[in-house]
Chains A and B, each alone.
Chain A
């Protein structure tokens, strides 16, 4: 009971804080939209991929942007760990008689909620003529499920990075050299197929590649495409689930051990 109550209150705090910081709300939504419109429009005419005949770059890039929203929202929501340590808020949580798992779960629940909120806002672009998805209510629920899974894994990854850090600047450095490349080499901006062999294997090892496949599948599940077969998706589900489980266990262990 205490685990649920503590997780709930830590989640609620994340959400309320986010809503009260207007810059964060605007920045988190505007950046991916600008990215999508500017890069998408620029690349639209020159984009050609064998397996994706008939798919415009704006459309190809769209799930990649959802991945970006989930990645950055999840990761940014864990920056507050460093802030909480600096301001002293975390010490009040650490001396309370609560399970250490609830600290991680509270963060994860916060990350998931914010990711869902922002992704749903971005989904409004489906209604515009910029993309032509055959999007049903089922696709929508599948997508929500997928975002929850992705955000779970990425928020726990964020906890793992943020927990031992003592400066926000250090965290930003990790973002530039590790997290942004993770996104770039996930197939968000260009397809995995047709890349040099070494890059192909790097991309296959990247958990975000599999996360992105799941996202894409939500848009195309009803039409078997050459590059998105169901067997590949099954592998991606397992790969990403193992990634989530490992990061979560590691994060809980780290939080339990530290003071």
Chain B
């Protein structure tokens, strides 16, 4: 099977002290997408920097589209398209100038480069803005230009580091639609880091990183089905005391996530009896399929937001 990315026992530490990645091993087939999910400081960006060739491997091995990242750095760079979290466009240049510059860096030039740029601008609905100086574009449009920049040389693997940071929900949705369209049309493999569960749900394979360790790896469906039951989410004004009551009286294990109580259950009678017994304490009760946030809590024993902070 051809792989877009393979890492074997990848370890990385800063100044030989703080360990940022611990024995991370994963495989992603070509043409598929991988989301790397984790809280801030989880090791996502370190992994991104290693596979984008911005940092040098310390321990372990990594292969991108079958190429050894250590030994074939130049070839790896050719098959890789990168979208960074911080903008990498020159804000003093126009959209078109930025793209021409990018093409030149990858050995593209002349009429073929101009045609390629026109095609992308058309497809990404930016043709009318090509003469605009980048600093005058909105955040969403700038990100679209960044995406074209990364795709211009038709990479086999596109990697993105939290690419929608700072975008409003509609711009975020538009951005991901374009990424998915490209994946579908060109067969580009997509690897992205995110700390948003709704973005992570869009992937074929999901890797959850926590304190540098790979705590879960699989498709989102596989991971959520590991939980087994459904999730009962209860909102209450006195959720701390209600949690204690449920744990004591019904012998159920409860978790507090944000300001709600979450209980893993497979048993409808448990749901009914909670509803009857504590009716006066309840503000709302939701029974739903487990989410990736539940997977994260199950695998790490931590609340995602608390871990991020």
Which residues of A does B touch, CB under 8 Å? 1-2, 5-6, 8-9, 12-13, 16-17, 20-21, 87-89, 91-98, 259
What are 18 contact pairs spanning A and B, CB under 8 A? A6-B104, A6-B105, A9-B100, A9-B104, A16-B92, A88-B84, A89-B89, A89-B90, A91-B84, A95-B52, A95-B53, A95-B54, A95-B80, A95-B82, A97-B77, A259-B53, A259-B54, A259-B56
Whole-angstrom CA separation of A21 from B90 in the bound complex? 13
Q: Is B93 interfacial (CB 8 A cutoff)?
A: yes
A-B complex: 7 closest residue pairs judged by Cβ atoms: A9-B104, A92-B88, A88-B86, A97-B77, A96-B105, A88-B88, A97-B78
Q: Is B102 interfacial (CB 8 A cutoff)?
A: yes
Q: Is the CB of A92 within 8 A of B104?
A: no
Distance in Å from the Cβ of B300 to the closest Cβ of chain A?
30
Q: Is B31 interfacial (CB 8 A cutoff)?
A: no
Q: Chain B residues near A94 (CB, 8 Å)?
A: 53-54
Q: Is B288 interfacial (CB 8 A cutoff)?
A: no
Whole-angstrom CA separation of A248 from B187 in the bound complex? 43
Q: Chain A residues near B54 (CB, 8 Å)?
A: 91, 94-95, 259
Given contacts A13-B101, A87-B86, contact A92 B91 (CB under 8 A): no
Q: Is B106 interfacial (CB 8 A cutoff)?
A: yes
Distance in Å from the Cβ of A180 to the closest Cβ of chain B?
28
Q: Chain A residues near B247 (CB, 8 Å)?
A: none
Whole-angstrom CA separation of A89 from B93 in the bound complex? 12
Which of B56, B74, B88, B92 touches A91 (beta carbons < 8 Å)? Answer: B88
Whole-angstrom CA separation of A5 from B108 in the bound complex? 9
Q: Chain B residues near A259 (CB, 8 Å)?
A: 53-56
Most B-side CB within 10 Å, residue of A5, A87, A91: A91
Secondary structure of the A contact surface, majority rule: helix
Most A-side CB within 10 Å, residue of B54, B75, B107: B107
Q: Is the CB of B87 within 8 A of A87?
A: yes
Q: Chain A residues near B195 (CB, 8 Å)?
A: none
Residue of A nearest to B53 (CB): A95
Distance in Å from the Cβ of B253 to the closest Cβ of chain A?
45
A-B contact count (CB 8 A): 72
Whole-angstrom CA separation of A1 from B107 in the bound complex? 8
Whole-angstrom CA separation of A89 from B105 in the bound complex? 13
Q: Chain B residues near A93 (CB, 8 Å)?
A: 105
Which of B88, B97, B104 touches A89 (beta carbons < 8 Å)? Answer: B88
Q: Chain A residues near B243 (CB, 8 Å)?
A: none
Q: Is the CB of B88 within 8 A of A96?
A: no
Distance in Å from the Cβ of A82 to the closest Cβ of chain B?
15
Q: Is the CB of A92 within 8 A of B74?
A: no
Whole-angstrom CA separation of A16 from B100 in the bound complex? 13
Most B-side CB within 10 Å, residue of A9, A92, A259: A92
Which of B75, B89, B92 touches A17 (beta carbons < 8 Å)? Answer: B92
Q: Is the CB of A96 within 8 A of B92?
A: no
Q: Is B284 interfacial (CB 8 A cutoff)?
A: no
Q: Is the CB of B92 within 8 A of A20?
A: yes
For the A-B complex with A17-B93, A92-B84 known, give 11 more contacts whose Cβ atoms are closer than 8 Å: A9-B105, A13-B93, A17-B90, A92-B89, A92-B105, A92-B149, A95-B52, A96-B106, A97-B75, A97-B106, A98-B105
Residue of B nearest to A6 (CB): B105
Whole-angstrom CA separation of A2 from B100 in the bound complex? 14
Distance in Å from the Cβ of B279 to the closest Cβ of chain A?
54
Whole-angstrom CA separation of A129 from B138 in the bound complex? 53
Contact with A along B213-256 (1 / 0, CB 8 A): 00000000000000000000000000000000000000000000
Whole-angstrom CA separation of A6 from B107 in the bound complex? 8
Distance in Å from the Cβ of B42 to the closest Cβ of chain A?
21
Q: Is the CB of B77 within 8 A of A5?
A: no
